[in-house]
Structure formats: C-alpha cells, structure tokens
Chains A and B, each alone.
Chain A
Amino acid sequence: MISVEHLVKRFAGVVAVNDISFSVNKGDILGFLGPNGAGKTTTMRVLSCFFPPTSGRVTVGGHDVVAHSMEVRSKVGYMPESVPLYLEMRVSEYLKYRARLKGVPGRDLTKRLDHVVGRCNLQEVRSRIIGQLSKGFRQRVGLAESLINDPALLILDEPTIGLDPNQILQVRDVIRDLAQDHTVILSTHILSEVERTCSRVIVIHKGKIAAADSMESLRRGALAGGRVRAEIRGPLAQVREALARLPQVSAVTAEPDGEFSLCTVEYAGGQDLREPIYAAAVENRWGLRELRFEKKSLEEMFVKITTQE
C-alpha cells in the first residue's frame, strides 16, 4: 500500500527526516511513535502530498507522491494534528463541500454523508455550526471529513489529542473498525494508544527510524528480560545475596518492611525467574508473602529506544 524508500526532508538548515524507509501493507494500523520534533508530522505531510520529499521515493497505492500527486490525494484521507475546519460552516455543509472537492459523485453524496455521520457519532450536531462545537466534536468532524470519500489510506496525526477518555475509546473503536478495509497510519505520543490500536509500530527519533516491528516482537526485543517483585521473610542482606546469585539477574533492590524484605529483581533473558526465587526461599526456609511478575511498560521501552545513541 505504501512504500517509502530513503525519504529525506530538509528545511532551510534543518534535516527533519533523514533517510527513512518502510512499507505498509493493506489493512495495517501503523503507529508512528516518537518524541516531539522527531519527524512524524513531516513524514505524514509527505505522504499526504503537502510537500514533496527532498530526496527518496514515496509511493501510495503504486502512485508516486510527486509524479502522480492527484491520484494519491484522492486515495488518502488526511487529518492534521490541529484538525483545521472552516468554523463558520455547518457540519453537514462542510462535509458535503469536502466530499465534492474530493470527487464523490453527486448521487452518492447523501449516502456517504449519512455513513460518516453515523460512524463518527455526529447525528446530534449535523446542522450545528462547527465553530460552536466542543473540541471532541470537532475532532470527530475532522475524522468524518477524512473518511468522506472512502479513502484507501487514512493518515491521522494525533487523532485522540484533547479528547476525554470516553471519546478516546470511541475514536479508537472507529479506527479499529476502519482497519478492516482501510490502511491506517496514526501518530501519537500516547504509548498505551499504540499498544491498544496498532498492529505495527515505527519509532522515529531525530528523523531516523529507531525501531520498527510488530507490537509483539518490539516488546520482546526491547523488553527482553523482566522484573519480579518478591516479599520474603528473612534477613535483608542474606536475602539480597541469595537473589543476586540466581542466573541472569542484573539488579536486586531490597528494603526492609518489619520482618520482611521487599525485593525487586531485574533480569535479562526470556526465562521466568519466579520459580527459582521460590526455590531459593524454600531452601533457606524463608517465608514468601508475595511473588509477582511485572511486565515492563511501553514507556520504559520508549525511553530505552529513544535515549540509546
């Protein structure tokens, strides 16, 4: 669906995107992850034909974004981060205007309008003036606009920014629904969002791809190893020593809590350390009150990827 080869985008003196390549298949929900100023929006603007790349080749649905810009534009639904809308227009009026502009034939106009209004839950504000709507509704009008011509590819820049938790869930549902017959690229810096909606992730950092993979393998790679919390009744120093002796342990922290020692054991490698810890406690005749495996969070992965140089 999308192929990006050696994309470079340079602005006067600044390299915003520096030689990135990736491809997206039909039906994927690709998440662009990265700190502010990493080059997410720039990449999306190239894909939506706002400006051409400085160098490199970008195709959408087989069409080059420079040579066949019009074909690409009519296949893409794009929602910029600020969700710009004509505030003086009414919702249905605006959606109809954009539909005509995007070449939706007159006979399908009402059908498409009803469809996107239903999908984005805009029934109650259909004939309201956009300028009077709340941020959440405007966001959904923007989403409806990007869907109006049933594009093969949706590019959404921070689609859930500024929404309340209920609205975030609704928008996520819409996006997941769409993925059945659309390809979606969304950027975000909310990590749990990527975790919940995306099938693939690209982490961009300083204009380069820092990591790209499916959600699962990304987690496995960057989060190799794990962390176990153990609360053991035993002398602090001895407990710490015994745990540190276990295989592949990289760090042990322990603090006293009455008779107990509250320990956190970090280790590398894929093996589960809970049983060896249990065995160590039994061997030393220490009591064991809690033994819990803690999944490393996506936040930790993100920090790890974007801080390693």
Chain B
Amino acid sequence: MKLLTLTRRELGAYFLHPMAYIVLAPVLFFSGGLFADAFARASLNGYPIEMRHFIDIFNFLGMFVAPLMTMRLLAEEKKSGTFEMLVTAPVTDTGIVLSKYFAAVILWIFFLVPSLFYLFALNKFGANPDYGAAVCNYVGLVLLVGTFLAIGIFFSSTAANQIVAGILSFITLFFFYLLGLFQIESKWAGVDWAEVAKYASLFNRYQNFQKGVYDTRDVIYFLSLIAFFLFLTVKMIESRRWR
C-alpha cells in the first residue's frame, strides 16, 4: 500500500520533470528512423524484414537512457533535503528503493510500448513477424535495461550530485559494453579472459534474447545483478545510521 503510494509519486515526478519527455523523444526518433530504414531496405532488396533490424537500437539507447532516468532519484533527494522527510516517514528503506526502481522500470516499459506499433505495421504489410521471438526480445530488453536502472540507482545513492551519479553509472555501463567487444586472445594464469569477458558482459547475455532464445540462466543472471545492486542501494541508504 505504502509502496504503491511511493511508486505513484516517483512515476508522477518523471512527468513533472522534463526528464521523461527529454528521454522519450530521442528513443522514439531513433527507433522510428531505424524502422523506416530497415523497412525501406528490406522492400527494395526483397528480403524479409526481421524484428532485430530495428529493435537492436533499444539496448544501445538503454545505455544512455538509464543513467538519465536514475541519476536524479536519490542524489536529488539528498541534495534538497527531502531525503530526511522520506526516511523519517513510516516506510522502510527497502520500500523507498524498490518504489524508485519500480517507477523507473515502469517508465522504461512505457517507452517500449510505442515500438509495438512496428510489429503491427509489419503484420499489416504481410511480413508476418515471429511473435515468440518478439516476446523474448521484449523480455530481454526489460531485463537488460532493468539491470542498467539498478546500477543507475545505486550510483545515485552514492553521490550527492546527480550529474556525478549519471556519469558514474554511464561509465560503468560503457565498461560492460566494451567487455562484450573484447575479442583478443588472451590467456593469463590459465584463464581465457576473452571468454570471461563474454560471460560477464550484459550485452552478450542479452544477445540470446535477441535471437529468440529463452535461457533461464540468462534470466537468473540479470535478476541476480538487479537484486545485488538494489541491495547495495538499500545498504547505502542505511549507512546514515552508522556513519
């Protein structure tokens, strides 16, 4: 009940700040542009258009969008002092973190909704998209960016300045992104580090979903990362008690 109240306020705050609109506009612009491009090229060359041609952009956009969506969440509360009002209200620290996280995830899902239109358009023009793969893609996108958001919230709880929080979380996400591009053969101490990098990279994990392969291991990988960063965030908030 309290969680609902908190989540509603957090969601409302996104739309009271210009942030939601600032983020939504480029998401729609780029995904729309890519779809038009993919559609045009497919019909010119006569090969079937696939969903990944235009949904690819979303995981890349998520890397920029997630820090923007989360950097304010706790840093701003601490800076303006509303943090004190929040943690002296009869709500738990876990409730505070979860509500902020849920609001961010819901907003991300909201951003994804317009892309359903592309599926509809494909169907309309007889391309007959693979709906199973589409569902898998969306699940993957929510899990992947959901992890980005958890990382973003964690950094927001560490910094007193939202710009610093945003930069820190972007650097972290970019690091994970580069990890996936790591190709060099490098064996050191009997370990194939390229393999380790591939294993740890968030983006590589997501590629399975993109191909339409649903693997429980990948889901658990993302969920455990989300839980880990949210746990760290709760601990950061609790640290006021013993610092």
A residues engaging B (CB < 8 A)? 11-12, 45, 48-52, 70, 73-74, 76, 78, 80, 82, 84-89, 97-98, 100-103, 145
Contacts and interface: CB of A to CB of B under 8 A. Distances in A.
A140 B12 CA distance: 24
Contact of B88 (A49, A82, A87, A97): A49
Contact of B9 (A51, A74, A78, A97): A97
Contact of B85 (A11, A84, A87, A88): A84
The A contact surface, by secondary structure, is loop
> Size class of B's contact patch?
20 to 34
A51 B82 contact: no
B243 interface: yes
Contact of B13 (A78, A85, A88): A88
Nearest to A94: B9
B240 interface: yes
Given A97-B5, A101-B6, A84 B88 contact: no
Contacts of A12: 243
14 contacts: A12-B243, A50-B87, A51-B240, A51-B241, A80-B81, A80-B85, A85-B82, A86-B82, A88-B13, A88-B17, A89-B16, A98-B85, A102-B90, A145-B85
A104 to B, nearest CB: 11
A102 B88 CA distance: 10
A145 B85 CA distance: 10
Interface of B: 2, 5-6, 9, 12-13, 16-17, 80-85, 87-92, 240-241, 243
Contacts of A103: 2, 90
Contact of B2 (A45, A80, A101): A101
Contact of B84 (A73, A76, A84): A84
A84 B80 contact: yes
A101 B17 contact: no
Nearest to B79: A84
A101 B240 CA distance: 21
Nearest to A79: B85
Given A51-B241, A97-B5, A101-B6, A73 B88 contact: yes
